[in-house]
């Protein structure tokens, strides 16, 4: 949305400023949710590096093992350890991806307090699909909107209508008091 487009629609300058301010706030909020993508990429690179190092270690030990039982046992132990470590790291990466997708989805749903909303979600029913979407989240968010609607930003602001006096400040104070006492 551009300022010129709004001017062409004959929108008052004050309204254009407010619209652009609200639009800018939404864009910044959305941008802040993408910080998690860099974290995931960094963790992914770290995991790949660790896996490459382990594969190299395993190949080196495999050459040394040949007939030696001690080295064979050490090799088997390392294989088991690396397998367990790989599974743990993959689980951590999956959990990080799920948390990032959930955070972005809650921001997109205009949740005011994501931690409070997340506490109301049944995380066992939410699954991250291969395309990055969250299965089971929409139904839960709909029920939370019904039961705890205050957690969501509805995008409306109350109208402020100041109550003023008669607008004349040039009146005689003594006469005003006399008039008030007469009533």
Q: Is residue 170 part of a domain?
A: no
In terms of domains, do 128 and 70 share one? no
CA pair distance 139, 126, nearest whole angstrom:
10
56 & 94 share domain: yes
For residue 6, what are the domain limits? 1-33
Residue 18: which H helix or E strand, with range?
helix 13-33
Q: Give the C-alpha separation, 16 to 4, whole Å.
A: 10
- Is residue 79 in a domain? yes
Residues 71, 126, single domain; the answer is no
- Check whether residue 39 and residue 99 sit in a common domain: yes
In order along its 183 residues, the chain shows pLDDT tens digits of 688 888 888 888 888 888 888 888 877 777 666 666 777 788 888 889 998 999 888 888 777 666 677 777 888 899 999 999 999 999 998 888 888 889 889 988 888 888 988 899 998 898 988 888 888 888 999 999 888 888 888 766 656 666 655 555 556 788 888 888 887
Query: Considering the entire predicted model, what is its pTM?
Result: 0.48
Residues 146, 148, 150, 151: is their CA dihedral positive or negative?
A: negative
């Amino acid at each position: 949305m551009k300022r010129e487009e709004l001017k062409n629609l004959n929108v008052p300058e004050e309204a254009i400023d407010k619209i652009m301010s609200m639009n800018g706030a939404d864009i910044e909020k959305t941008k802040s949710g993408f910080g998690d993508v860099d974290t995931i990429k960094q963790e992914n690179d770290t995991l790949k590096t660790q896996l490459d190092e382990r594969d190299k270690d395993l190949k080196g030990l495999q050459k040394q093992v040949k007939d030696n039982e001690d080295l064979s046992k050490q090799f088997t132990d390392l294989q088991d350890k690396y397998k367990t470590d790989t599974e743990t790291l993959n689980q951590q990466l999956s959990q990080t991806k799920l948390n990032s997708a959930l955070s972005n989805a809650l921001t997109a749903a205009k949740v005011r307090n994501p931690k409070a909303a997340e506490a109301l979600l049944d995380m066992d029913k939410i699954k991250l699909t291969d395309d990055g979407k969250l299965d089971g989240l929409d139904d839960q968010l709909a029920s939370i909107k019904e039961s705890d609607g205050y957690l969501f930003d509805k995008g409306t602001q109350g109208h402020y209508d100041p109550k003023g006096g008669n607008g004349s400040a040039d009146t005689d104070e003594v006469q005003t008091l006399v008039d008030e006492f007469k009533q």
